[in-house]
Structure formats: C-alpha cells, structure tokens
C-alpha cells in the first residue's frame, strides 16, 4: 500500500507540474518531503460552504468523506481555524505561530497539524469573507479543500487588506497541497509569510523530528505559490530517485505541452 501511495504521489506531482528545478525539502523523520509545484488554483468560493465569517481566533470542523492518512494515522474529521492552522484529533485557535522545529515552541494543542499559513488572521463582515470547504473528485481520488478567502491580519489597522489561500487534502496518497492566491496585506512585517509558519508536524513533532517546515517568519511565499507535501518514501525507493523521477516525468509533461 505504501508503494501504491508513492505512485499516486508521483502521478499527482506530474499533474501539478513538478519541475526538475523545484525547491525540495525533507524527508523528515517520518518520510515526508515537500516541493514547490505549478500553481493550479481551485477556487471553491462559488460552490463550497462558507463558515467562520466575522470571526477571530475561531475554528470549524467537518467530517471527511474519506479517511485521510497523516503521519501514519487515519482521520475522518478535520479542524481548521481562522488563523490558517489545520489540525486532527482536536481543535486549536492559537494565533501566535510557532517554529515547528523548535523544542522551545509552545502549543495550546500539541496534536497533528498543518500550518497552511499560520498567523493571526481574522474574517470580516464583508460578503465572501471567511473560510470555505468542499469535497471534490470521485471515490478513491477525492480531495477535501479548505479555502481562506479575503482574510485580514489582526494588526491591520490601515484599511482593508486581504489575503486568500487554500489547503487540499488528497485521498489515497495522503498528500497535502498548499496554494496561495494573494498573500500581501500591504504591511512590510506581514507580507508573503514574514510573520507566518508554513509546514506540517505530528504530535510532539518538534521533539521526534516528525515535522517538515517550509518557512517560519520568512517572506518566501509569493502570490501564485503551490507547495506539495507528500510521503512517506518506502524502500527501496530513495529520495534522490524519487526526486529524479518526478523531474524526468515533469520534463516529459512539459515537452508534450510544448509540442
């Protein structure tokens, strides 16, 4: 089953247009790797269910239509907060982002987490502001999408600056795709992830090494960025071999698109 999961991961990377020049990090202690892939925004603001409107430090929860495997455990319920944090097994409304790799990090909920763009965000009373969720696809290849739409930073006191981003959880492969449509609020200390955390971690992952952090308080998240987290990598497939394979397959896809 792990081998089939890796095949699904490679196929997903191909579909998303992973490139040989992609930035790749990992694996972590469990086997997750992450790479930037081609941007393919999947807007659900017109079809998904809207929750967490006019909210600050609030969370929503929903039963999944499939079992999502994350760090070797299967979950059928997901939680997410206005602050861009997705959790399993319990909720968290913590607004102070943490370094996923630090033993000195503090947690109000020390459980499995996906930091999509973990920062102090809030929704407003304007139409369409809040978070949307929707399941798409057919059984066996579904994806659960959470979309933070037109969110404001808590410290934004200079007009209505908003950001929009999303997290996609994939059935079968257990892959996670994070996508960023608009990540600039017009503040030098906040824009492009400068005050946010992006990455994944397991329970007590900062101690076990079961964490994979893309960025922590770094302005490296641009508009049109997509980051794919996938794993684990089973034997006998190696990290180098997997990355090379993804690069070769993506090159083939690009050549087909050109011709």
Looking at the predicted structure, is the pLDDT value of residue 126 above 60? yes
pLDDT of residue 246: 54
pLDDT of residue 252: 37
Query: Does residue 151 or residue 233 have the better pLDDT?
Result: 151
Neighbours of 54 (CB within 10 A): 12
pLDDT band at 15 (very low <50, low <70, confident <90, very high): low
Residue 202 CA, distance from chain mean position? 14
| Mean pLDDT of the region 155-172 | 85
| Mean pLDDT of the region 187-194 | 89
In which domain, by residue range, is 222 found?
2-258
Instruction: Map residue 98 onto helix, strand or coil.
Output: coil
pTM of the model as a whole: 0.84
Instruction: Share the mean pLDDT of the chain.
Output: 86
Closest CA to 21 of 38, 40, 42: 38
Looking at the predicted structure, is the pLDDT value of residue 82 above 80? yes
Most confident of 6-20, 52-66, 149-163, 238-252: 52-66
Query: Does residue 182 or residue 187 have the better pLDDT?
Result: 182
| Mean pLDDT of the region 33-48 | 97
Residues near 186 by beta carbon (within 8 Å), at least 6 away in sequence: 156, 158, 159, 161
| Mean pLDDT of the region 26-37 | 97
pLDDT of residue 7: 45
The tally of domains found in the chain comes to 1
- Which range (13-22, 98-107, 108-117, 161-170) has the least confidence? 13-22
> What is the number of residues in the chain?
259
- Which range (47-51, 180-184, 185-189) has the least confidence? 185-189
Looking at the predicted structure, is the pLDDT value of residue 16 above 70? no
């Amino acid at each position: 089953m792990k081998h089939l999961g890796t095949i699904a991961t490679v196929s997903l990377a191909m579909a998303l247009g992973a490139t040989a020049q992609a930035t790749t990090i990992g694996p972590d202690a469990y086997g997750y790797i992450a790479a930037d892939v081609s941007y393919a925004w999947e807007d659900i603001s017109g079809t998904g269910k809207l929750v967490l409107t006019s909210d600050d430090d609030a969370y929503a929860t929903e039963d999944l239509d499939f079992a999502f495997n994350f760090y070797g455990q299967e979950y059928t319920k997901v939680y997410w907060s206005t602050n861009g944090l997705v959790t399993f097994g319990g909720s968290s409304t913590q607004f102070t982002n943490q370094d996923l790799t630090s033993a000195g990090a503090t947690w109000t909920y020390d459980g499995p987490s996906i930091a999509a763009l973990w920062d102090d965000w809030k929704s407003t009373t304007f139409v369409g502001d809040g978070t949307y969720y929707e399941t798409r696809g057919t059984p066996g290849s579904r994806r659960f999408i959470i979309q933070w739409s037109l969110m404001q930073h808590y410290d934004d006191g200079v007009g209505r600056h908003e950001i929009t981003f999303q997290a996609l959880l994939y059935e079968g492969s257990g892959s996670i795709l994070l996508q960023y449509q608009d990540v600039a609020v017009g503040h030098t200390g906040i824009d492009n992830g400068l005050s946010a955390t992006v990455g994944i971690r397991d329970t007590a992952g900062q101690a076990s090494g079961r964490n994979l952090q893309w960025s922590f308080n770094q302005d490296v998240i641009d508009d049109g960025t997509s980051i794919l987290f996938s794993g684990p990598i089973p034997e006998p497939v190696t990290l180098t071999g997997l990355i090379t394979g993804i690069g070769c397959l993506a090159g083939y896809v690009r050549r087909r698109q050109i011709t």
